[in-house]
Chains A and B, each alone.
Chain A
Amino acid sequence: MARSVDAMIQLDKVTRSFGNTHAVDDVSFHVEAGEVLGFIGPNGAGKTTSMRILSTLDTPTSGEAWVDGFSVVDDPDRVRARMGWMPDGFGTYPNINCEEYLDFFARSYGLRGKNRLRAIKNVMGFTQLSQLAKKPISGLSKGMKQRLCLGRALIHNPKVLILDEPAAGLDPRARIELREMILELANEGKSLLISSHILSELAEVCDRVAIIEMGKLLAVGTVDSLLNQPTDQSSQNLTTQVAVKFISDLSEFLDWIKTRDDVEVVSSSYDTVVISCDANHEKQSELLAAMMNSKLKVFEFKEKQNSLEDVFLTVTRGAVQ
């Protein structure tokens, strides 16, 4: 894969080996300007190693990686000026408060005088930390620290943001606020690469998702395209799962199902039965009509939608051996 002119982040056949272990193995993907790419995979899949390479903390054993057209190996200084990285762990400094922390990083990125003060002010406003300016970092909650860390990554207004597990350990409210910030940043045209285990969060903010396991990239695509792909063995035989809600007696409903060869029960509760049936919508409409004709009081007949979790489990489960 040649270097794309428009891509803000690009990995081309990147491999990172530690001895005989390939932490990242021949991984290629790209992120366009203003795009949010979710990077998902189980623990030890190679997400953080890939992000470390993009953040100019490590070098690939082979392959190439670029940020805004600059090689992370050959031009790390230029990459650093364009990139903000938020790691999964948060290293703190003793005897230093939030404002001093941001001030230090603003200076480190070359911001001087009023520009520096305004950058700190704006980042504090954006991350809702202004009232905590004088609070020692050691006294901050996990959520506050995450915000401060995001603020640090934003202080020099990078074009590219790399966020490693930004929502880990956050309460629901903090997560919502973080999601809101990510969406705002994406709207401003920044390119974001986000890894997370909270897949429902990713589905809401990401334009595309890349799935990695044991160092190998298994799938890359838009969230919709991945959600619409088959998620289990039965689906690959053109069957799908349908949730049927009814007000009839459960045993009566199950007895009726037994009379049919084209339907299987997947799970059942007192008013809902999930069945596996033909994926063809015409066949499904015939099935619904048959239910109605049999006097079953069905009030909801809905094809089950895949979640990102389903896609993740399907794609990663033993896919790489």
Chain B
Amino acid sequence: MNQERSAIEKVRLSGGEVDSSLTPCPNESRFDDLMEGFSDWFSSILIKETRQAVKSRQFIWTYILQLVLVASWTAIGFGTLGNQLGEGLLTGYFIILGFPLALIIPFSAYRSLSREFEDGTIKLISITTMKPRQIVLGKLGSALIQLTMYLAVIAPCISFTYLLQGISIWNIMSCLSICVGGSIFLTILGLFLAGSFRSRSLGVGVSVVFVLVLGLVYFGWILFVIVSGITDLLILSSEEYFIFSGILFSFSSTALILLASVIAQISFPSDNRSTWVRIMMLLQQTLFFAWVFHILSEEAYRNHVPTILLMWVGHYWLLMGFLLCGESSKLSRRVRRNFPSTLPSRLFLSLFMPGAGRGFLFALANIWSAFLIILILAIYEKPLFDWSWLPHSQRPSSRLASFSWLEEFHSMFICMGFVTWFLSLVFLLNRCILSRVCGHLEPGYGPVLSLVSGTAIFAFITVFAAIISGVFIEPMASAVASSFNWYEMSFAPIVGTQWSIFFIVFGIQAVIITGWAIMLASEDFLMGPIATPERVLIESKPVKINALPVGESIDEIFGELPSKTTGDGTA
């Protein structure tokens, strides 16, 4: 028999209470107790990640390096910069701050998630009651805490430069906003890459590429700060302002899509992985039109502008539509339980539910909505934007008078027709061929396969049509080939018999293919909800406020464990 008693015996012999010497981390003060309670408000992954990050050598060394560099630059600046002291110091500080924000934090976030996959710890987290959203946001939150800590080092120095000549609060805030916003975007990009490329071998290559990209971004930041000059930064002309606001919209909405995508990637296969991604796509499109609206309040439509806008939206929805068409049509019962039940709600909300058919219709609905929005903006441009606040001399003069309305409408309609046709082709390819041939593949590969095959079809048809139409000398043959060239048909004016050729060669088959695709997709679209199992309904009923997932108190739980047994070992 062992001389040393086992833990179970120790607990048993302690007469129902765990020996105080065995208690982990007795809190030393009321402050600790307070903080312990306060920590319950935060995500577990945020606490763990922050604990790990601040204890890591990488953080400590970067932190010390930043302190040393800031101190050194301040000393050097005072000695050498003379009249340019304020701008020079601030430029240096932002270059120093850029290093952890552009390189260290995004790469740490990337490694943090990719390591979970490599070490298999993601499985341990996945089987807790934590949601994938909490996992990803926890990691992002930890990155933000590190970002705050790096900022804290440099904040007093940056504040000091405000007292120096030539530095305004606008200079400081605009530069800080770009720094912090850029860092958050890169961190989300890192998390997205880690979630997308999970295998160790692929991960090494992605790590190298990501580091190179981050290095380039940091180099670009240095150039931007030095060349543009801190004091001139973000003092924008009207045109630059629109470009800047467009970039801001694009990056912020793309960050949201990437975030929704990485959450979807680590979700359980039977989860609804699509709805949030679709909502973010819709949000991105909405932001795009808000931006267009903003531009139109200052500038009038000109020829081809509506078609160019549609072309831009069309490419976006082709890319997203190809991915959506690759989703598996087999839905888990869990997802189907949450389907909208009434017909009106089904008509709108079904578009947000997972599945290839609904994805195809979602893309179509969005692209045709875009068409309508641009059309309405074109029709009601003058009453909407009368520029009454501007002096007459400054109001845009070129309006609908110079706007070739009928031609523009034709271009827009043809543009829409091509996008619809390409999406229908890829949807049918997925539904009739790929889902049968590659049905054994994991569901996650479907969208990727669909994207690759869709892009290949699109590129082949467009390039082949362009080449062939140039090769044929005979006008009829050339016109037939041109009928499949999206760009040429949208922008080059169609004249004479070319309309008939286009209608016969492209129009008829496009209508048939689109009709067939919509008919197949509508089967998915009209799918209704299924009943929730009784066992789930029973558990869902009691509204018991308890942190424990099993609905039992901790006393009940550990009253059953050996720690509460009596001294003689009997329960």
Partner of A104, one of B7, B19, B47, B562: B47
Q: Which residue of A lies closest to B125 (CB)?
A: A108
B552 at interface (Cβ–Cβ under 8 A)?
yes
For the complex, is B392 an interface residue (Cβ under 8 Å from A)?
no
B334 and A133: CB pair below 8 A? no
Q: A80-B129, A92-B119, A105-B124 are in contact. Are A74 and B268 (CB under 8 A)?
A: no
Cα A91 to Cα B440 in complex, Å, equals 30
Q: Closest CB of chain A to B334's CB: distance in Å?
A: 4
Given contacts A81-B129, A122-B558, A156-B548, contact A91 B8 (CB under 8 A): no
For A59-99 the 0/1 string (1 means CB < 8 A from B) is 10000000001110111111011110101010111111011
Inter-chain contacts of A121 with B (CB < 8 A): 18, 22-24
A87 B48 Cβ-Cβ under 8 A: no
Task: Let me know if A15 is at the binding interface, CB within 8 A.
Answer: no
Contacts of B22 in A (CB 8 A): 121, 124-125, 130-131
19 CB contacts below 8 A, A to B, read A56-B126, A56-B268, A59-B268, A59-B269, A70-B535, A87-B123, A94-B52, A100-B51, A113-B36, A114-B554, A115-B548, A118-B554, A119-B554, A119-B557, A125-B10, A125-B18, A126-B11, A126-B563, A184-B8
Instruction: Tell me the complex Cα distance, A102–B119, Å.
Output: 18
The answer, among A89, A99, A116, for a CB contact under 8 Å with B120, is A89
Residue from B7, B25, B47 within 8 A of A133 (CB atoms): B25
Chain A: minimal CB distance from B550 (Å) = 5
What's the nearest-Cβ distance from chain A to residue B39, in Å?
8
Given known A-B contacts A85-B127, A184-B8, A122 and B561 have beta carbons under 8 A apart:
yes
Closest to B556 in A: A157
When the two chains form their complex, are residues B47 and A156 in contact, meaning their CB atoms are under 8 A apart? Answer: no
Going nearest first, the 8 A-B pairs with the smallest beta carbon separation are: A128-B7, A107-B44, A81-B549, A130-B22, A91-B121, A108-B128, A133-B24, A157-B557
**Residues of A144-165 contacting chain B, CB below 8 A:** 152, 156-159
Indicate if A171 sits at the interface (CB-CB under 8 A): no
**Chain A hits for B177, CB < 8 A:** none
Within the assembled complex, what's the spacing in Å between the Cα atoms of A85 and B55? 29
The distance in angstroms between the C-alpha atoms of A156 and B8, with both chains bound, is 19
Shortest Cβ distance from A99 into chain B, in angstroms?
Answer: 4
Digitize B527-571: 1 where CB-to-A-CB distance is under 8 Å, 0 elsewhere: 000000101100100000001111011100110111100000000
Enumerate chain B residues within 8 angstroms of A85, measured Cβ to Cβ. 124, 127
Please state if B37 and A113 are interface contacts (CB–CB under 8 Å): yes
- When distances are taken between beta carbons in the complex, the residues of chain A under 8 Å from B40 are 107, 112-113, 116
> In A34-77, which residues have CB < 8 Å from any B CB?
55-57, 59, 69-71, 73-77
Please, how many angstroms separate the alpha-carbon atoms of A73 and B268 in the complex? 9
User: Which residues on B sit within 8 Å (CB–CB) of A119?
Assistant: 554, 557-558
Q: Is A318 an interface residue (CB 8 A)?
A: no
Nearest residue (CB) in A for B269 is: A59
Contact of B129 among A102, A109, A112 (CB under 8 A): A109
Residue of B nearest to A128 (CB): B7
Taking a contact as CB atoms under 8 Å apart, the answer to whether A74 and B11 are in contact is no
A19 to chain B, nearest CB (A): 5
Min CB distance, B33 to chain A, in Å?
10
At the interface, yes or no: A120 with Cβ under 8 Å from chain B?
yes
Interface residue A189 (Cβ < 8 Å from any Cβ of B): yes
Cβ–Cβ contact A108 & B44, under 8 A: yes
Least Cβ–Cβ distance between A258 and chain B, in angstroms: 48
- Contact across chains for B56 and A95 when beta carbons are under 8 A apart: yes
In the assembled complex, A177 has its CB within 8 A of some CB on chain B: yes
| A181 interface residue per 8 A CB criterion | yes
Cα–Cα, bound, A249→B8 (Å) = 52
Contacting residue for A110 out of B19, B269, B548, CB 8 A: B548
Q: With A122-B558, A189-B560 as given contacts, are A96 and B52 in contact (CB-CB < 8 Å)?
A: yes
> In whole Å, how far is A25's beta carbon from the nearest beta carbon of chain B?
15
User: A95 is contacted by which of B52, B121, B535, B554 (Cβ under 8 Å)?
Assistant: B52
Q: Which of A75, A134, A152 contacts B124 (CB 8 A)?
A: A152
User: Cβ of A110: which chain B residues have Cβ within 8 Å of it?
Assistant: 129, 547-549
Q: Are A126 and B6 in contact (CB under 8 A)?
A: no
Given A113-B40, A117-B36, A124 and B24 contact (CB-CB distance below 8 Å): yes
Cα distance A21–B190 when bound, in Å? 35
Cα–Cα, bound, A120→B554 (Å): 11
A128 to B11, CA, bound (A): 9
Q: Indicate if A111 sits at the interface (CB-CB under 8 A).
A: yes
Which residue of the partner chain A has the closest CB to B2? A173
A9 to chain B, nearest CB (A): 15
Expressed in whole angstroms, the minimum distance between the Cβ of B527 and any Cβ of chain A is: 17
Q: Is A180 at the interface (CB under 8 A from chain B)?
A: yes
Q: Which listed residue, B19, B36, B120, B549, touches A156 by the CB 8 Å rule?
A: B549
New A-B pairs, 17, CB < 8 Å, besides A73-B332, A156-B549: A73-B270, A80-B129, A81-B549, A92-B119, A95-B52, A96-B52, A104-B45, A108-B125, A108-B128, A115-B547, A115-B553, A115-B554, A121-B22, A125-B19, A128-B6, A133-B25, A157-B558
